[in-house]
Amino acid sequence: MIQPVDFQDFFIAFFSSALVICAGALYALFFAFARLLRRRTLDYAAYGSYGVLAVNIFILARVLHLDGFWQLVVWTMLAGYLFAPRAIWQLCRATHSDVDAAAESPAIADKQRLTT
């Protein structure tokens, strides 16, 4: 049976949930900029944001009494947050690799200059 959240734990659950959302967004943002700008410091910021995300997910799971099957959901969500930005980055690179190759080709660049 699901246990209700105690009233004194409600604010912890609220702020922990908000931090999960913010830390997940910051992780994706820092990860994307680290790849675009090739900056190692942004990688560290991304992994720091992921650490904040993981801590808050565990706090949230404890406060909300998520046991049994829900622990599997928590672990799956953490793995998804870790690997989703990497998969999306690879997908974007594969999708836009033809555009990058065309931009680097002098013949295509001359052709685009003549048509505009």
Give yes or no for residue 88 having a pLDDT over 60: yes
Write down the pLDDT at residue 107.
Answer: 56
- How sure is the predictor about 64, in pLDDT bands with cuts at 50, 70 and 90? confident
CA 71 to CA 18: how far, in whole Å? 20
Phi, psi of 66 (to 5 degrees): -85, 105
| pTM, two decimal places | 0.73
In the chain, alpha helices (H): 7-37, 40-63, 69-104, 106-115
Mean pLDDT computed over every residue of the chain: 83
* DSSP 8-state code for residue 67: -
Each domain of the chain, given as residue ranges in start order, spans: 7-115
